[in-house]
Structure 1
Amino acid sequence: MSIQLPKNYIQQMKELLKDEFEAYMQSFEQERYYGLRINTNKISVEDFLKISPFQLKPIPWADNGFYYQGNQKPAKHPYYYAGLYYLQEPSAMLPAQVLPIEEGEYVLDTCAAPGGKSTELAAKLQNTGLLLSNDISTSRCQGLIKNIELSGSYNTWVCSEDLVDLSKRFKETFDKILVDAPCSGEGMFRKEPHLISSWQERDDTYYPPIQKDILSCAVDMLKPGGKIVYSTCTFSIKENEEVIQDVLQRHSDLHLVPISKMPGFASGVGMEECVRLYPHKIKGEGHFVALLQKEGDATKKICKKENISLPESFKEFLQMCSFDFSKGCFSIKNDKIIWSPQQLSEQKRWRLLRSGLICGGIKKNHFEPSQAFALALKKEEFKNTADLSVDDPRVIKYLKGETIDIKDQDTTSKGWILVCVDGYPLGFGKIDKGIIKNKYAKGWRWQ
Structure 2
Amino acid sequence: MLPQEFLERMENMLGEEYPAFLKSYDIARYQALRLNPQKGDDASFLNRMVFSLERVPWAEHGYYYTAQDTPGKHPYHEAGVYYIQEPSAMAPAAYLTQQMADGAGERILDLCAAPGGKSTQIAAAMAGRGILISNEIHPARAKILSENIERMGIANAVVTNETPQRLAEHFSEYFTRIMVDAPCSGEGMFRKNEEACEQWSTQNVELCADRQDEILDCAASMLAGGGRLVYSTCTFAPAEDEGSIGRFLERHPEFYVEEVPLAEGMSHGLGELSATIRLWPHKLRGEGHYVAVLRKEGTLADGGSGLLKNGYENGLAAGDSKSAAAGIPEYLAFAGETFAGDALEKYAGRECRYLKFGEQLYRIPEGMPSVKGLKVLRPGLHLGTAKKGRFEPSHALALTLHAADVLHTMDLPSDGREIRGYLNGETFPAQGEKGWYLITVDGYSTGWGKLAGGIMKNHYPKGLRKRLY
TM-score, normalised to structure 2, is 0.91
Q: Secondary structure at the match of 1:199?
A: coil
| AA aligned opposite 2:74 | H
Structure 1 residue 313 displacement after superposition: 2.3
| Percent of matched pairs sharing the same residue | 40
Q: Secondary structure at the match of 1:207?
A: helix
Deviating more after overlay: 198-207 vs 133-142: 198-207
For residue 73 of structure 1, the aligned residue among 62, 70, 73 is 70
For residue 313 of structure 1, the aligned residue among 312, 323, 330 is 330
Contact 1:136 1:160 survives alignment (8 Å): yes
Deviating more after overlay: 165-174 vs 308-317: 308-317
Q: Secondary structure at the match of 2:201?
A: helix
Structure 1 residue 301 displacement after superposition: 4.1
Contact 1:258 1:272 survives alignment (8 Å): no
1:172 corresponding residue in structure 2: 173
Cα distance change on mapping 1:336 and 1:394 into 2, 3 Å:
same
1:262 paired with 2:286, answer no
2:437 corresponding residue in structure 1: 417
1:337 paired with 2:338, answer no
1:28 paired with 2:46, answer no
1:272 corresponding residue in structure 2: 274
2:411 corresponding residue in structure 1: 387
Q: Secondary structure at the match of 1:127?
A: coil
**Structure 1: runs of 5 or more not aligned:** none
Structure 1 residue 125 displacement after superposition: 0.5
Deviation string, structure 1 residues 325-359 (Cα, Å, up to 9, x no partner): 33431121111111023233324321011110110
1:44 paired with 2:32, answer no
Deviation string, structure 1 residues 363-403 (Cα, Å, up to 9, x no partner): 45321100001001111111111112222211111111100
2:296 corresponding residue in structure 1: 294
Deviation string, structure 1 residues 281-305 (Cα, Å, up to 9, x no partner): 1111000000000111223247462
2:103 corresponding residue in structure 1: 103
What pairs up with 1:142-161 in 2 under 5 angstroms?
Answer: 142-161=143-162
2:127 corresponding residue in structure 1: 126
Cα distance change on mapping 1:352 and 1:301 into 2, 3 Å:
farther
Q: Distance in 1 between matches of 2:266 and 2:45?
A: 28
Q: Distance in 1 between matches of 2:150 and 2:10?
A: 40
Q: Distance in 2 between matches of 1:212 and 1:342?
A: 33
1:373 paired with 2:397, answer yes
For residue 92 of structure 1, the aligned residue among 78, 89, 92 is 89
| AA aligned opposite 2:445 | P
Q: Secondary structure at the match of 1:131?
A: strand
Q: Secondary structure at the match of 1:223?
A: strand
Deviating more after overlay: 338-347 vs 436-445: 338-347
Q: Distance in 1 between matches of 2:284 and 2:93?
A: 18
Contact 2:181 2:231 survives alignment (8 Å): yes
1:139 corresponding residue in structure 2: 140
| AA aligned opposite 1:291 | V
Q: Distance in 2 between matches of 1:273 and 1:200?
A: 28
**Structure 2: runs of 5 or more not aligned:** 306-311
Q: Distance in 2 between matches of 1:258 and 1:180?
A: 19
Contact 2:265 2:283 survives alignment (8 Å): yes
For residue 56 of structure 1, the aligned residue among 40, 53, 58 is 53
Structure 1 residue 432 displacement after superposition: 1.4
Q: Distance in 2 between matches of 1:442 and 1:52?
A: 31
Structure 1 residue 446 displacement after superposition: 1.9
Q: Secondary structure at the match of 1:284?
A: coil
Deviation string, structure 1 residues 230-281 (Cα, Å, up to 9, x no partner): 0000001000001101111111111101121233211111122111011111
Structure 1 residue 433 displacement after superposition: 3.2
Contact 2:56 2:87 survives alignment (8 Å): yes
1:281 corresponding residue in structure 2: 283
Q: Secondary structure at the match of 2:60?
A: coil
Contact 2:156 2:364 survives alignment (8 Å): yes
Q: Distance in 1 between matches of 2:14 and 2:278?
A: 12
Contact 1:207 1:239 survives alignment (8 Å): yes
Q: Distance in 1 between matches of 2:43 and 2:462?
A: 33
Contact 1:186 1:286 survives alignment (8 Å): yes
Structure 1 residue 202 displacement after superposition: 4.2
Structure 1 residue 201 displacement after superposition: 7.7
Q: Distance in 1 between matches of 2:262 and 2:123?
A: 25
| AA aligned opposite 2:358 | N
Q: Secondary structure at the match of 1:51?
A: coil
Aligned residues: 440
Contact 1:259 1:290 survives alignment (8 Å): no
Deviating more after overlay: 336-345 vs 295-304: 295-304
Structure 1 residue 167 displacement after superposition: 0.8
Q: Distance in 1 between matches of 2:208 and 2:282?
A: 25
Q: Secondary structure at the match of 1:262?
A: coil
| AA aligned opposite 1:93 | M
Contact 2:313 2:371 survives alignment (8 Å): no
Cα distance change on mapping 1:109 and 1:60 into 2, 3 Å:
same
Q: Secondary structure at the match of 2:362?
A: strand
2:232 corresponding residue in structure 1: 231
